[in-house]
Chains A and B, each alone.
Chain A
Amino acid sequence: DTAVSQTPKYLVTQMGNDKSIKCEQNLGHDTMYWYKQDSKKFLKIMFSYNNKELIINETVPNRFSPKSPDKAHLNLHINSLELGDSAVYFCASSQVGRGVAGELFFGEGSRLTVL
């Protein structure tokens, strides 16, 4: 049973389109994240949500809007896609205590290609 699952696994779209990536975790964790991995493998934090509340937003353009309907789901919606948005997007979850970081469990990634 997959702990952190993302859909779709692959996404190919044209510049200017709007797309969404969905993420669900069945670990009962309170915190979920979105990371972006570029072509050089660099993993960069985008957002962090704790119990549906946005905690961290790391200078991500407004075209990216995370939505957390409940603490098991964190979706990523991207408007007006640009070539530079091409990357692998990873969802992750973690059970952290107050101010205490812990292991992140990653999904398998969603590879977005913008043409």
Chain B
Amino acid sequence: GENVEQHPSTLSVQEGDSAVIKCTYSDSASNYFPWYKQELGKGPQLIIDIRSNVGEKKDQRIAVTLNKTAKHFSLHITETQPEDSAVYFCAASIGNQAGTALIFGKGTTLSVSS
């Protein structure tokens, strides 16, 4: 089955720096790769996603890149702010015509200090 590896597990940056989180997946049939942000005591929330027919996507300070050949994708956050501090999860889709689900990486705890 699908296996999603995520690195690093923790990341500390200064306010204004960039942060990069990387993920690899194992199932070449996966075609949807979202990133979720989870704040303390809350459920995960989608921040950006990318499909397999696209190599890069950007939304203001966050961007995601996908390399299907190498089976890896990355999240880039520029000009980090203290409110970016949270746990970030990458995920890859599994499933077929009957139904789909997401397999998550183990998460990255991002701390942004001012």
Contacts and interface: CB of A to CB of B under 8 A. Distances in A.
B43 A40 contact: no
A106 B38 CA distance: 10
Given A43-B44, A43-B89, A108-B42, A101 B102 contact: yes
B71 to A, nearest CB: 16
B43 A42 contact: no
A50 B99 contact: yes
Interface string B64-95: 00000000000000000000000101000111
Contacts of A40: 106
A40 B45 CA distance: 18
A41 B89 CA distance: 10
A48 interface: yes
Nearest to A44: B104
B interface, how many residues as a size bin? Answer: 20 to 34
A44 to B, nearest CB: 8
Contact of A103 (B31, B46, B107): B46
Main secondary structure, interface of A, reads strand
Nearest to A59: B1
Interface of B: 31-32, 34, 38, 41-46, 49, 87, 89, 93-104, 106-107, 109
Interface of A: 4, 31, 33, 35, 40-45, 48, 50, 55-56, 90, 92, 94, 96, 98-104, 106-109
17 contacts: A42-B104, A48-B95, A55-B95, A55-B98, A55-B101, A56-B95, A90-B43, A96-B99, A99-B96, A100-B100, A101-B32, A101-B94, A101-B102, A102-B32, A106-B45, A107-B43, A109-B42
